[in-house]
Structure 1
Amino acid sequence: MPDASRSAGLLRRDSQPALAYARWTGRGPTLVWLGGLRSDMTGTKAEALDALASREGFGFLRFDYRGHGTSEGRFEDGTITLWTEDAREAIAALAPEGPVILAGSSMGAWIALGLVGPLRTEGRNPAVALLLLAPAPDFTTRLVEPNLTDTQRRELEETGRFVEPSPYGEGMVYTRELIEDGRAAAVMTGPIDLGGVPVRIIQGMEDREVPPSHALDLAALLPSENVTMTLVPGGDHRLSEPEDLQRMEQAVLDLLKEVAALA
């Protein structure tokens, strides 16, 4: 059996909301799951990776940002900067000292890209590879703001928020703080320096929330020597069909193997 152990609980912090987490402590780099906006760590892809970590024996960490899932805090108080800080602190506290592979879905890809520099500077948990699924960096400035209706703009101005219907359940709340912070936290403003780490992007061709053109724009800003994009015919934003999960799992195993060969 793989030499790994599992734990789960709440990461309590002095002045910030506690974060719910689950992890496998295993061999090699720790795979860190970074979920999307309003998603939680019990989603289909996160559960599939948890099972993969159990079978293969590698380290795996998943958690809920503040205001998500069973973590403390209100969703409407969150911003990209705060959720990125949640991720940085979760990695520092819950990942064994050593490298990490960041797997970001949708908004989680934005957070992954924003973490590479700080993790490299801190040195304790450098990111050695990225897996980006339906990546949505800068979605507030590139996908939300340009499509705001006059009514939504007025609601933002007058009330500081608006609610957009969602195909996945309750409406999505966008706040003035999230929109303004998104401009400050933007990463697609020029070439993105990732220090040469391998990057794998998986993008559905039928994604209605984050169009394939957005992933192509992102890829154009990344160093080209070790970036691979897989476009999935018929794939939607969730990428949670059995064949999507198999594709994601294989990408993780390939990255683990590549990172081990470079070590």
Structure 2
Amino acid sequence: MHKIYSLDDGRFIAYKQHKSKKNSLINIVFLHGMMSNMAGKKSNYLHHLCQEEDLNFLAFDNYGHGNSSGRFIDQTIESWFDATQAIMYHTSNNFKNIIVGSSLGGWLAMLAAVKNNIDISGVVALSPAIDFTETLIWNKLTEKNKYLMVNKGYIELSGNSCNSKYSISYNLISNARKYLLLNKSTINIQCPLAIIHGMQDQEVPYQESVNLINRVQTCYSTLKLLRYADHFLSDPASLSNISYAIKEIMQQINS
């Protein structure tokens, strides 16, 4: 059963939360990917893990997804990042937050660590789609489709791993340019980072994560490439690796 956090501007965020019975300060925050929601396999796995390990847990539907307000086509990286900060301020301000971000959520997790507006104690980035609006969408469009997107305001696209189409707005592309990370020679964050990427990923090439970790400056960072895993990292072996990465981050926090 989810809860609703209503903002003053009329928007609202659907979320679910588990609180530690022994007042653990560790809070696992799951950020889902684009066209996904908080009810996915990774989110449910982490929720169960936190119940077993007596850790705090937070997952939510970002704007335009699941049970939260807004249309997908109207959203931007800025609005999704605003939602991330808003729900964390509301629920998680006094915790040691480990953000587990999947795909788009990986980009948002990195932005949260870079901006450092709320206590981020660690990041686990899963198939992180850093700068995907530019490198994986805009740069791969034909000149004709770029023209159509600019003049129509959006175009219909589909992912490599699914047949369903979704509308990508030019506003999403243009707004995201303020939040690009991989155009920087160094990305400074103040917390441990673990990246996990499947080498069979058809949506975000694993080389993007190699590019990312080569730019990150932090106290502790790892990149694990899973030879047979795909973009979703929802198979049992991938889920076990996610659990292990979280526990490694916790060791770094407590050391």
In the superposition, the TM-score normalised over structure 1's length comes to 0.90
Matches within 5 A, 1:41-56: 41-56=38-53
Please state whether the residue corresponding to 1:250 is helix, strand or coil. Answer: helix
Counterparts of residues 51-130 of structure 1 (less than 5 Å): 51-95=48-92, 97-118=94-115, 120-121=116-117, 125-130=118-123
Aligned counterparts, 1:240-259, within 5 A: 240-259=234-253
Matched, 1:186 2:180: yes
User: 1:78, 1:171 → 2: CA distance?
Assistant: 16
* Identical positions, percent: 27
Q: Distance in 2 between matches of 1:186 and 1:31?
A: 25
Report the RMSD for the aligned CA atoms in angstroms: 1.5
Partner of 1:8: 2
Which residue number in structure 1 is paired with residue 136 of structure 2?
143
State the distance in 2 between where 1:254 and 1:216 align.
20
Q: Does 1:23 align with 2:26?
A: no
In 2, the alpha carbon distance for the partners of 1:8 and 1:39 equals 16
Structure 2 partner of 1:223:
217
Whole-angstrom CA distance in 1 between matches of 2:231 and 2:10: 31
Letter in 1 for 2:180: A
Q: Distance in 1 between matches of 2:197 and 2:226?
A: 6
Q: In structure 2, how many angstroms separate the alpha carbons of the residues matched to 1:82 and 1:165? A: 22
CA deviation map 1:124-160 (0-9, x unaligned):
x410111000011111111111110244223202211
**What code does the residue aligned with 2:216 have?**
L
Q: Secondary structure at the match of 1:208?
A: coil
Instruction: Give the paired residue count.
Output: 250
> Alpha-carbon deviation of 1:98?
2.5
The AA in structure 2 aligned to 1:164 is: L
Q: CA deviation at 1:225?
A: 4.8
Q: 1:151 to 1:55 in 2, by over 3 A?
A: same
Query: Conserved in 1, the CA contact under 8 Å of 2:192 and 2:218?
Result: no
Residue 87 of structure 1, CA deviation: 0.3
8 A contact 1:163–1:173 mirrored in 2: yes
Q: Could you tell me which amino acid in structure 2 is paired with residue 92 of structure 1?
A: Y
Query: 1:210-242 CA distances to partner (integer Å, 9 max, x unpaired)?
Result: 001111111111126511100000211111111
What letter matches 1:193 in structure 2?
A: N
| Post-superposition offset of 1:251 | 1.3
- SS of equivalent to 1:88: helix
Tell me the alpha carbon deviations over residues 135-186 of structure 1, each in whole angstroms, 9 at most, x when there is no partner.
1111111111111024422320221101112333521321010000111111
What secondary structure sits across from 2:58 in the alignment? strand
For residues 192 and 16 of structure 1, the distance between their equivalents in structure 2, rounded to whole angstroms, comes to 34
The structural deviation recorded for 1:248 is: 0.7
Change (3 A) 1:251 1:165: same
Query: Is the CA contact 1:205–1:232 (under 8 Å) kept in the aligned structure 2?
Result: yes
AA aligned to 2:127 is A
Superposition deviation, residue 188 in structure 1: 1.8
Instruction: Say which is worse superposed, 127-136 or 165-174, in terms of deviation.
Output: 165-174
Deviation at 1:59, TM superposition (A): 0.7
CA contact (8 A) 1:25 1:96 kept: no
Give 5+ residue unaligned stretches, structure 1: 1-6
